[in-house]
Chains A and B, each alone.
Chain A
Amino acid sequence: MGKLKEMGLQFIPFLPVLILVAAIIVGIYHIKVYW
Chain B
Amino acid sequence: MKPPRNGLAAIAPMLWLAVFFVFPFLLVAKLSLSDTALSMPPYVPRIDWQQGLAGLQAVFAGLDNETYARLAQDRLYLDAYLSSLRLAGIGTGLLLLIGYPVAYGISRCPPTLRQALVMAVILPFWTSFLIRIYAWIAILKPAGVLNTALHGLGLPGVDILNTETAVLLGLVYAYLPFMVLPLYAVLERQDQRLIEAAQDLGSTPLSAFWRITFPLSLPGAVAGALLCFIPMAGEFVIPDLLGGSETLMLGRVIWTEFFSNRDWPAASAVAIVLLATLVIPILLFERQQAKVLS
Tell whether A and B belong to one assembly.
no
